[in-house]
Amino acid sequence: MEIAGFDFQNPASMYADNMRLSSSPAIQSSEKFADALKKASANAVVEKRIGEEPIDKEDKLYQLCLELETFLVKNLLTGMRNTVQKSGLIDDSYAGKMYEDMLYDEYAKDYTKNANFGLAAQAYRQLKNKGI
């Protein structure tokens, strides 16, 4: 049996080829990038802007502010969805409407988490300043 690029007589040569690949500059730079990404994500718990107090993203108040932002984004998406004609992809039955509503709930959660609208941060700072 023969497989292209694999030497059955000398399997150690395949290991040597892998070692050459892992020491290539592209692999090394991607490993450096991965290390930098890990360091950045470790510091992502606290957000700070110039002249403002830092936001602890693990704080219960901040999590509630994120839920408020998700609710507002969900209402925005629902309003936008109501302006679009139905395509018939999702039926108008109770189950279809429930599925579509859950789909837009997940869209709102993803947008809130990834888009960085800033509504949660503003609400957090205002409530934190009031001592809540």
The pLDDT tens digits of the residues spanning 48-81 come to: 556 667 788 889 999 999 999 999 999 999 999 8
Asked if residues 57 and 69 have their Cβ atoms less than 8 Å apart, the reply is no
**pLDDT tens digits for range 28-47:** 667 788 777 777 666 555 55
Q: Is 35 left (phi over 0), alpha (psi -120 to 50) or beta?
A: alpha
**CA-CA distances (angstroms) from residue 30 to 35, 37, 39, 43?**
9, 10, 14, 20
Answer yes or no: is pLDDT of 103 > 80. yes
**CA-CA distances (angstroms) from residue 96 to 13, 49, 91?**
57, 43, 5
pLDDT of residue 27: 60
For the entire predicted model, the pTM comes to: 0.57
